[in-house]
Structure 1
């Protein structure tokens, strides 16, 4: 009989097959008669015995349709920027906005650079760069990549 694998417990190797007769059949690792692993959505040929599937083989040329049933998980954000480098730049050269240029925030980098020319502007950019330093250090790598991973 032909059927489709509905699910597989990868730890135990047990799973379920939906037969073409509309019934479900359970299987264990010893029932899988083919080299390789059973995959969700794979079309298989098997011998039914009560509610059990025996001698399970994949249908030749069949590919798992699991990718059609379940969309791919979203990718994790990545960035080539390093949050430690950004924090060090913010701490040592922050009043000039160098860390902002490094992270691709050119607009706010220019604002910090222009503000630093005046004494009052420097009073603004010093705490601004300290806040940025602390923020980069406490931010998780994932959040940092999500926020500054535009490259």
Structure 2
């Protein structure tokens, strides 16, 4: 069955899923089989156990309100990374401003800082492409990792 996580309380490990059938199902953290974890708004695929609770819960890749596409992030890093555009796309505004400021100031300083920002962006381009969709989501979207 498919559904959407309405709420998940990490403190007690309990949550509620709204099934596509219109009913609500309780689940515990141990029922989540995906490493993406349980976040509100995330689309899930789940089974019902004999007691009527949700079990065998798998998050759908790219679900939720804050989901980002790793290919888009990688292409932005490759073509416009020296300006930090991929950081803004991923919601890492502070890192984006740092890359943008260093790159623009670097243009008047013989270009060395700009080259360094371009190199960092190229490394991130490679990292984004080599990670699985699930790992990219967990590390750069949910984990809020800004650098490498």
Return the TM-score normalized by structure 1.
Answer: 0.50
| 2:116 match | 124
Per the TM alignment, residue 73 of structure 1 is displaced from its structure 2 partner at its CA by: 4.6
Q: What's the Cα RMSD here?
A: 2.3
Q: Any unmatched runs of 5+ in structure 1?
A: 1-38, 41-63
SS in 2 for 1:95: helix
Q: How many residues align?
A: 86
Q: TM-score, normalised by structure 2?
A: 0.51
Is residue 82–residue 115 contact of structure 2 (8 Å, CA) maintained in 1?
no
Per-residue Cα deviation, 1:43-63 (whole angstroms, up to 9, x for no partner): xxxxxxxxxxxxxxxxxxxxx
Aligned to 1:91: 78
Partners in 1 of 2:114 and 2:85 — Cα distance?
A: 14
8 A contact 2:74–2:129 mirrored in 1: yes
CA separation in 2, counterparts of 1:132 and 1:100?
10
| Greater radius of gyration (CA) | 1
Gaps of 5+ in 2: 1-47, 143-148
1:148 and 2:140 are equivalent in the alignment = yes
CA contact (8 A) 2:81 2:121 kept: yes
Counterpart secondary structure, 2:91: coil
In the TM superposition, residue 131 of structure 1 has moved relative to its aligned partner by 0.4
